[in-house]
Structure 1
Amino acid sequence: MALAVAATLSPGLARANEANGDAPPLVGVVTVERKEILMTKDAPGRIAPMRIAEVRPRVSGIVLERAFEQGGVVEKGAVLYRIDPTQFQIDLDSARAAQAKAEANLFQAARQEDRLKALLNGQTTTQAQYDLALAAERQAEADVMAQKAAVRRAEVNLEYATIRAPITGRIGRALVTEGALASENQVLPFATIQQMDPIYADFTQSVAEMSALKEEMERGGFKPKEGAVRTRLILENGKTYPLEGKLLFSDVTVDPGTNQVTLRAQFPNPEALLLPGAYVRVQIEQGVRANTITVPRQAIQRNNAGGAEVFVVNDQGRAVLQPVRLGRTLGDQVVVEEGLHPGNRVVVEGFQKFMSGGHVDPRPASRGRTEAERG
């Protein structure tokens, strides 16, 4: 830390430099001011696909062909695998023949019913004989309906011999090859398709943090930002994902093991830069806080007890340590809850050039204030 470096300068050496008339060292400072800032919250999360479908066979048979490129994008309905259709075609032909036979029987039964109905009107046959003919016709009608269902079942099985993509998305590696025996009851899927544009980021937040945020909003410390809650992603390499997302929901159930709730955000992913399972940090906008003091993170020093301090240039031009109570960290800035006032000049550069209490020549820090303006 800069404090540790400054402490290596002996008091005697510092007094000697001042006595010799040496110019005070140049240091970079920022002037404290109260401002309105956008409060954000970072939370660890994982990328999850919007939809996921495991490709499985619905009939049994030998796989004849794999018709997709592994790792590519497939459209809904695209052919993925073909299972040997020979047996299913035979079953369909047999069912159609049985249907034709049933329809012929129905035709004969209907004609017989018509004849006996005419004879019954002429009183040349009995009611019992007509009832038997009518029952035979209705049975023949039922047989036709049953055979039509058998034909449809055979047609569906033949269609299932061609395995198609149930959703549009990126398909993973093939888990079976040509020549494998497919079974409609098998556990292992043929492949997995994941819809990745848009894509989800799932993360958690503790109930205590949510309650504290709600209380501060009720006190007027926060103003909810208008419109949808915007979110950003910090990738594993530390870079910010270029496209913003939106918060979808907060789970209504608290995990009893962690006392946290799960939140989900949605992000556009046209270039497939976000992959399912990847670790990210999700940054969500929580609201606008007025009259807030922040300082750059490099200004913060730590004493032997672990307390936070900053160097403040006083009216005599000396850099003195000032204890502070810190709040939330927002990017490269830290919220200061107590210890600083508007107009204070806080040292952020040149710590190695002076010791606590020494004279300094404060100049505006080279990094300026651009990164401090988060809101």
Structure 2
Amino acid sequence: MKTWQKGLFAAGVFGLAIGAFIAIQATATPPLQKDKSGSQAPLVVTQQLQAQPHRFELQLWAEVKPKEKTTLTPEVSGRVIALDPDFIAGGVITKGTVLVQLDDSDYQVALLSAQAAVASAESVLSQEQAQARVAEQELRHLSRDQITALALRQPQLLSAEAALKSAKASLQKAKRDLERTRITAPYDALVVNRNIGLGQVVSTGTALGELYSVEQAELYVPVASFDLAYLPTERAGIPAQLRTEQVSREAKVVRDLGLVDSQTRMSHLVVQLDDPYAVRSQQPVIRFGQYVEVRLAGRVEEKLYTIPQDALSDGKVWLLQPDMTMARQQVDVVRQSGKFAYVKSGLTDGQQLILTVPNFPQPGMVVRTAPSDSELVKTE
């Protein structure tokens, strides 16, 4: 290659190098902020603080239990002649359903006999009343001092009236005994177990089966003494939400047991859930024995700062000052729940809370903030 060609080639390469350098400089990231010593300042993420009203919520756990439990027992004896198909373990029955029918033939006879006794007593009473009226007519010519109660047949009349009352009482008992051969469900219920079968002779007091009411369920919710401060003074009526992995139901607190457990030192609130088995509604079912999360709506605090718990250390937080330096601030935390802490005092609106604290932080340390999430990702 000739000398002039070599010079031209070298000049071209040098020109390309200068152009590339200029292009790189034009697209390069501006120099990062540095502290007073000239080193690169750490990058932090901040959150602007703003106080807002906050309703406290307690997250507790409790077991679902029936409000009412009943062991069915007959009030009369007899042979079982019929059983409701749903009167089996796990069956759900409605109030008034005839679960067990006892043989009532003897009680039908007793009812007829009682009715006959009443009719006879009424007849005797009518006769005595008539005879008393006749005696009174016959003795009208005598003075009152000469007329005795026996002559007016008053003892016989009182005896006949008493006999009628006794006969009517026997009739009422015969009717009740006949009705008691039909054993019905006292409420909407879940059948826990059944202890009898068709043809079995049962006597008064025999355990026929056990029922749990599905009209209402109750949960005895343990609450620590320090959590009670976040609930309204009037406990009854506090809204509650019951949650499992699959369902959520609305409930309410109905009473405070008013006792502190001597072993656990916990108080207990009673939460009531209506129609847990959805017999009379389209709500999802919550079963007895389930251990569910209970969320209680607490009192409202008008002005609280909600900050991540990670930003809190030993009751203090780091704040970003207007001159891009860090400052440590003591705060008054009223509650910590989940991933958040709730601060009542020590902060003011508009301050910048540092969420990502650099290694070995010091008051007065110069930091820089990321203008956007994209820059933060690129820097990392």
Q: TM-score, normalised by structure 2?
A: 0.65
Q: How does 1:247-326 map to 2 (within 5 A)?
A: 247-268=253-274, 269=276, 270=281, 271=283, 273-296=285-308, 299=310
**Cα gap change, 1:324 to 1:128, in 2 (>3 Å):** closer
Question: 5+ unaligned residues in a row in structure 2: which ranges?
Answer: 1-39, 362-366, 375-380
| Shift, 1:172, TM fit | 3.8
Structure-2 residue corresponding to 1:343 = 352
Q: Secondary structure at the match of 2:223?
A: strand
1:203-230 per-position Cα deviation (integer Å, ceiling 9, x unaligned)? 13234443x448xx9xxxxxx99x9633
Is the CA contact 1:325–1:338 (under 8 Å) kept in the aligned structure 2?
yes
Greater relative contact order (CA < 8 Å, ≥ 6 in sequence): 1
Shift of 1:320: 12
Distance across 1 between alignment mates of 2:290 and 2:94: 24
Measure, in 2, the Cα distance between the counterparts of 1:325 and 1:362.
Answer: 28
* 2:194 match: 174
Aligned-residue Cα RMSD (Å) equals 4.4
Deviation at 1:325, TM superposition (A): 8.3
Q: Cα distance, 1:326 vs. partner? A: 6.2
Are 1:185 and 2:194 counterparts?
no
Alignment-derived partner of residue 116 in structure 2: 97
How many residues in Structure 1 have an aligned counterpart in Structure 2?
A: 318
Q: Using the alignment, how far apart are the partners of 1:355 and 1:110 within structure 2?
A: 111
Structure 1 stretch 159-168 or stretch 263-272: which is displaced more? Answer: 263-272
Residue 82 of structure 1 pairs with residue 89 of structure 2: no
> Within 5 A, what are the aligned runs for 1:1-375?
30-69=47-86, 70=88, 71-121=90-140, 127=147, 130-131=150-151, 133-186=153-206, 188-196=207-215, 199-210=217-228, 212-213=229-230, 229-235=238-244, 237=245, 241=248, 243-268=249-274, 269=276, 270=281, 271=283, 273-296=285-308, 299=310, 328-335=335-342, 342-347=351-356, 362=370
Instruction: Indicate the SS of the match to 1:266.
Output: strand
- SS of match in other structure, 2:301: strand
- Residues in 2 aligned to 1:334 and 1:92: alpha-carbon distance in whole angstroms: 74
The 1:24/1:94 distance shift into structure 2, 3 A limit, reads: farther
The aligned amino acid for 1:204 is P
1:111-158 per-residue CA deviation (whole Å, 9 max, x = no partner) reads: 3323332322256xx845853733112211211110111011011000
Amino acid at match of 2:72: V
Alpha-carbon distance, 1:167 to partner:
2.0
CA distance in 2, matches of 1:360, 1:48: 57
1:209 to 1:128, Cα distance in 2 relative to 1, 3 A:
same
**8 Å contact 1:44–1:281 — kept in the other structure?**
yes
Identity, in percent, stands at: 22
User: In structure 2, how many angstroms separate the alpha carbons of the residues matched to 1:146 and 1:328?
Assistant: 72
* SS state at 1:334 partner: strand
Residue 58 of structure 1 and its aligned partner are, at CA, apart by 1.6
Question: Retained in 2: the 8 A contact 1:311–1:321?
Answer: yes
> Residue type of the partner of 1:141?
E
Q: Name the SS of the counterpart of 1:92 in structure 2.
A: helix
Q: Is the 8 A contact 2:191 2:209 kept in 1?
A: no
